[in-house]
Amino acid sequence: MTLGRFATKNAFRNRRRSFLTAVSIAFSLLLLTLLMSVYRGFYLDQGPPESALRLITRHKVSLVFFLPSYYREKIRTIPGVVHVSPWNWFGGIYKDNKPENQFAQFGVDPNEIFEILSENHVPPDQLEAFKHDRAGAAVNRALAEKHGWKPGDKVIVQGTIYPLKLELNIRAIYDTDNAFDSMLFSTEYIEQALPRVKGRTGTFYTLVDTAGHVTTVSKAIDEMFANSPQPTKTETEKGFTLSFVAQLGNVKLFILSICGAVVFAILLVSGNTMAMTIRERTREVAVLKTLGFTRGTILSLYIGEAVTLSLLGGLLGATGATLLMIVASKMPNGTFFTGFKVNSPTYLAALAVAALVGFVSAIFPSYNASRRNIVDGLRHIG
């Protein structure tokens, strides 16, 4: 029997205890994996490479103020800018206010928007149809499937910011990696229905030619309008999204402190189990020592056992989290989770945490056990 086999056999000697410990660790790690994925999605992921080339320009004071539409042509003159499109939040209601019926609507320029959102795939004939219908709409596939929309269907969206009811024809269905449901339509529709908003644009979406130009272009845009009555603030797509996350409150601290609590909780569970296990085997340790096993070997035996157990819990938890994430993103209230996935680095990180916790939790009890005097150990009753 090898030492590794000895450790794994020992880990399952008390089946019930091992099972309970592993399950307890699994639940905590499930949570940890979920939180790490959310954290990664918010703060670490850079999105598709195209995303880094896109800038969003808004009114400096706040998103709720409009910019003059002629800014678009001025932005276009800046060297490095390839495409610019208006990007107007419509904020409409489809059917009712229920969460499952909520999606974003944006007024855009159909001729340019898919050049900017270049990683999204639209069938060429549908794109043509979208460009040629002033009441046309383009929706992402998931949204179309959710509501059973096909090209040619009519969809009515009631405006809340604009006193206006959009009657749109679905013209294009595009494929995207972005998990947020959105509907794009021609911003001209709003302008023609409500002449008073003509010439006003909420934000501009800009595509820059190379990554090297992103910073200079974004600076150039803001400098161009710095002394005008409507100064601008230009951010990368990621920066723009993060500013929404920042408004939810101190999300970073919130996630990190829950992660801390979870890791500490598993440490307690695993440590408790190892302390109980090793205490029960005091006599066995003495016997092993009498047989000639060194202290180092005994130490590694018990640590190996703890790591086996917590890794098992980790595997269960991380796998569970991966599945749960997929299920949760499909629930009507789970829009929070769309866009987050457990990827392999996160999965491995969760396993690493599990192994580390197993290791740390076993160190003290096994060190004490390995130090114990043989004669005392043999005499031990318990």
Partner 1 sequence: MAIPISYNIRNLRLRVGATMMTALGIALTVSVAVFIMALLAGLKKAFVSSGDPLNVLVLRKASQTELQSGVDRASYDTIKYLPGVAKDKAGDPLASPEVVVVIVLPRNDNSGETNVTVRGMSSTGFELRPKIGLVEGRWFNAGQREIVVSKSISKRFRNAAIGNELFFGKGKWRVVGVFDAGDTAASSEIWADVNQMASDFERNSAFSSVLVHATDPIAAQGLKNRVADDQRLALDAFAEPDYYAEQTKSGAPIQFVGTIVAIVMAIGSCFAAMNTMYAAVAYRSREIATLRILGFSRPSIIASFVFESVLLALLGAALGLLLMLPFNGLTTGTANALTFSETVFSVRITLAVMITAILFAVTMGLFGGIAPAWHASRREILSALRD
Interaction between residue 195 and partner 1 (CB under 8 A): no
Q: Are 321 and 34 in contact (CB under 8 A)?
A: yes
Q: Cβ 247 to partner 1, closest distance in Å?
A: 4
Q: Cβ 183 to partner 1, closest distance in Å?
A: 18
Q: Cβ 160 to partner 1, closest distance in Å?
A: 5
Interaction between residue 275 and partner 1 (CB under 8 A): yes
How distant, in Å, are the alpha carbons of 93, 147, 167 from that of 135?
17, 19, 7
Contacting residue, 49, 163, 292, 296, with partner 1 by CB under 8 A? 163
Closer CB to partner 1, residue 93 or residue 299?
93
Q: Are 151 and 173 in contact (CB under 8 A)?
A: yes
Q: Cβ 233 to partner 1, closest distance in Å?
A: 8
Closer CB to partner 1, residue 107 or residue 271?
271
Q: Cβ 42 to partner 1, closest distance in Å?
A: 12
Q: Which residues contact 150 (CB under 8 A, 6 or more apart)?
A: 144, 170
Closer CB to partner 1, residue 114 or residue 347?
347
Closer CB to partner 1, residue 272 or residue 319?
272
Place of tokens 């845009």: 221
Q: Are 205 and 87 in contact (CB under 8 A)?
A: yes
Contacting residue, 269, 286, 351, 354, with partner 1 by CB under 8 A? 269
Interaction between residue 262 and partner 1 (CB under 8 A): yes
Among 4-12, 16-24, 110-118, 166-174, the segment contacting partner 1 (CB under 8 A): 16-24
Is 164 exposed, middle or buried (CB count within 10 Å of its CB: 0-12, 13-18, 19+)?
middle
Distance of alpha carbon 211 from alpha carbon 23, whole angstroms: 47
Interaction between residue 24 and partner 1 (CB under 8 A): yes
Tell me which DSSP letter residue 121 carries. B
Contacting residue, 118, 126, 169, 243, with partner 1 by CB under 8 A? 243
Among 59-67, 135-143, 181-189, 217-225, the segment contacting partner 1 (CB under 8 A): 59-67
Among 117-125, 177-185, 266-274, 373-381, the segment contacting partner 1 (CB under 8 A): 266-274
Closer CB to partner 1, residue 82 or residue 161?
161
Is 169 exposed, middle or buried (CB count within 10 Å of its CB: 0-12, 13-18, 19+)?
middle
Closer CB to partner 1, residue 113 or residue 342?
342
Distance of alpha carbon 293 from alpha carbon 297, whole angstroms: 6
Interaction between residue 56 and partner 1 (CB under 8 A): no
Closer CB to partner 1, residue 130 or residue 340?
340
For residue 79, the one-letter residue type is: P
Distance of alpha carbon 239 from alpha carbon 57, whole angstroms: 11
Is 319 exposed, middle or buried (CB count within 10 Å of its CB: 0-12, 13-18, 19+)?
middle
Among 189, 209, 176, which Cα is nearest to 78's? 209
Place of tokens 């909780």: 265
Q: Cβ 344 to partner 1, closest distance in Å?
A: 22
Q: Which residues contact 306 (CB under 8 A, 6 or more apart)?
A: 270, 273, 274, 358, 359, 361, 362, 366
Interaction between residue 61 and partner 1 (CB under 8 A): yes
Q: How many CB atoms lie within 10 A of CB 323?
A: 11
Contacting residue, 3, 211, 261, 374, with partner 1 by CB under 8 A? 261
Contacting residue, 336, 345, 373, 375, with partner 1 by CB under 8 A? 336
- In residues, how long is the chain? 382
Interaction between residue 283 and partner 1 (CB under 8 A): no
Interaction between residue 31 and partner 1 (CB under 8 A): yes
Cα within 13 Å of Cα(246), Cβ side: 6
Closer CB to partner 1, residue 178 or residue 368?
368
Which residues form the interface with partner 1 (CB under 8 A)? 16-17, 20-21, 23-28, 30-31, 34-35, 60-65, 91, 93, 97, 158-161, 163, 229, 243-244, 246-250, 258, 261-262, 264-266, 268-269, 271-273, 275-276, 328, 333-334, 336
